[in-house]
Amino acid sequence: MFFDMNYLWFVLIPTMLLSFGVQMYLRSTFAKWSGVRNSANLVGPQVAQALFSRTSLDDIPVQRVPGALTDHFDPTTNVVRLSDPVSSQASVAAMAVTAHELGHVQQYQSRSPLIAMRSFLIPAMRLSPTVSYFLIMVGLFMQLTGLLWAGILFFGVSVIFSLLTVPVEIDASRRGLILLREANLLQTQDDERGAKAVLTAAALTYIAALVTSVLTLLYYVNLAQRRG
């Protein structure tokens, strides 16, 4: 499979170029707005506390995590973790990233249907990639088309998860901007423009992941049809 020219030209090269381009855009956008101070002069954890105190969000712990672009909300422990740059810089980028993670918090606290659907698939996601690749490889090696199709069905779970992740992430960014406005933290054009730019760049990474999943799935389907 890995020497299949169809895979090379229609999956590997396009997805590598797309992922590289999106990552470069994200990093350059984050770097640009990390150099612009937000008007409230608040670092990430302070932004979080302002949002907790000025909006309807229930207060939860906010912790610092090493690295850059490692920010996330952990629903299993109900903790928001902010990266070193976001935790230490009073930048527009730090404010936007914090708001996005608190957008996820609001999704869980308001029991958003989108997050509920994605959470429903998480147990299956822990197994489906390993099972799918195993079945696909065995199906190809032993020339068993039935196993190949079974592997494709398992891989489809990953595609559905990626498909649900895109609207979840876009919704978290939308909620984050609304929270910033409610807390009166978007006071200048730089605040508004920079926050939107950072959140848009972040959303593109999930769209790129979805495109990669879909192209891979289509390749597997085409491969099974050819083997069948």
Dist. CA 97–CA 82, nearest whole Å? 8
Amino acid 122: pLDDT: 86
How is residue 10 annotated by DSSP? I
Amino acid 125: pLDDT: 85
Question: What phi-psi label fits residue 105: left (phi over 0), alpha (psi between -120 and 50 degrees) or beta?
Answer: alpha
User: How far, in whole angstroms, is CA 209 from its chain's centroid?
Assistant: 8
3-state secondary structure of 42: coil
Amino acid 4: pLDDT: 82
- Average pLDDT over the chain reads 94
**Structure tokens, 64:** 């610092």
Instruction: Check pLDDT > 50 for residue 1.
Output: no
Share of the chain above pLDDT 90, in %: 88
Dist. CA 19–CA 153, nearest whole Å? 25
| Tens-digit pLDDT profile for residues 203-227 | 999 999 999 999 999 999 999 998 8
**Catalytic annotation, residues:** 101
